[in-house]
């Protein structure tokens, strides 16, 4: 259970003072009744409405975004637009950050949450969560490249874990790659080792979750209960 002013402040991304004002001005109801005290305790199961808007009271949220090109995976872009900036106003709340990074020019699945412990767990290098990508390449891949990916290639000092590489078109320039690590520019560097440049890169799945095909680039939605259960198991 949380104090009402604290809950409003975090879920609406406003100050505690502004939250108290809303309550004082009788703009907030809990389960249909106007509440006038800031220290009223409420939680996940309560229906909180502020300024006629239903508030998502969940302690933590998990959001799937289809990231477009040109935005960065960070909470503070220092001039660049971030995935957090792209969230619709009613999804914004304090403490949201992208769990993991895609390059600025990579598109696709980004998971955004305010659950630090969960993010730490899925990002842990020990977890080896599989991530699938599709890529468009400037040259075709051949059996040698596929074998090197599957063997666990050396990249500089690093010996990578085995990855999977499958071609998706006849001329072998569209591919699916599955990796279970998250080394800086990993996929681009893996191809570059074979003289191949990645022209387009899109993440299509993260562990057991697949990017929702109905999400257009730049759009987001909360994970369903079923999806949340999957990533917590």
Which residues of this chain interact with ligand URA, rule CB under 6 A?
102-103, 106, 185-188, 201
Distance CA 65, CA 59 (A): 20
Contact, 134 vs 175, CB < 8 A?
yes
Catalytic residue, from 103, 114, 115, 148: name it.
Answer: 103
The verdict on whether 103 is a catalytic residue reads: yes
Q: How far is the CB of 106 from ligand URA (least distance, A)?
A: 3
Strand boundaries in the chain, DSSP class E: 2-3, 28-30, 33-34, 41-42, 48-50, 53-54, 62-67, 97-98, 107-113, 131-137, 154-155, 158-159, 164-167, 174-179, 198-206, 209-210, 220-222
Distance CA 144, CA 141 (A): 8
Count other Cβ atoms within 10 Å, centred on residue 104: 13
Structure tokens at 56: 């998502």
Q: How far is the CB of 30 from ligand URA (least distance, A)?
A: 43
- In the bound state with ligand URA, the residue whose beta carbon lies nearer, of 21 and 103, is 103
Q: How far is the CB of 84 from ligand URA (least distance, A)?
A: 17
Please tell me what DSSP assigns to residue 209. E
Q: How far is the CB of 224 from ligand URA (least distance, A)?
A: 25
* Residues known to be catalytic: 103
């Amino acid at each position: 259970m949380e104090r009402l002013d604290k809950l409003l402040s975090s879920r609406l991304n406003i100050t505690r003072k502004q939250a108290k004002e809303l309550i004082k001005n009788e703009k907030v109801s809990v389960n249909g009744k106007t509440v006038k005290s800031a220290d009223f305790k409420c939680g996940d199961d309560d229906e909180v409405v502020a300024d006629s808007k239903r508030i998502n009271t969940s302690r933590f949220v998990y959001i799937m975004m289809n990231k477009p090109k040109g935005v960065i995976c960070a909470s503070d872009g220092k001039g660049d637009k971030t995935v957090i900036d792209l969230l619709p106003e009613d999804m914004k709340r304090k403490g949201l950050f992208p769990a993991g990074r895609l390059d600025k020019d990579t598109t696709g699945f980004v998971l955004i949450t305010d659950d630090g412990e969960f993010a730490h767990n899925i990002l842990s290098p020990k977890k080896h969560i599989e991530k699938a990508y599709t890529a468009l390449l400037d040259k075709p891949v051949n059996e040698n490249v596929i074998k090197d990916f599957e063997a666990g290639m050396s990249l500089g000092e690093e010996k990578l874990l085995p990855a999977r590489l499958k071609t998706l078109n006849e001329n072998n320039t569209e591919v699916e790659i599955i990796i279970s690590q998250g080394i800086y520019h990993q996929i681009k560097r893996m191809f570059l080792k074979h003289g191949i440049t990645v022209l387009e890169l899109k993440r299509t799945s993260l562990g057991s979750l697949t990017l929702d095909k109905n999400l257009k680039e730049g759009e987001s939605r909360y994970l369903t209960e079923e999806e949340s259960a999957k990533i917590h198991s």
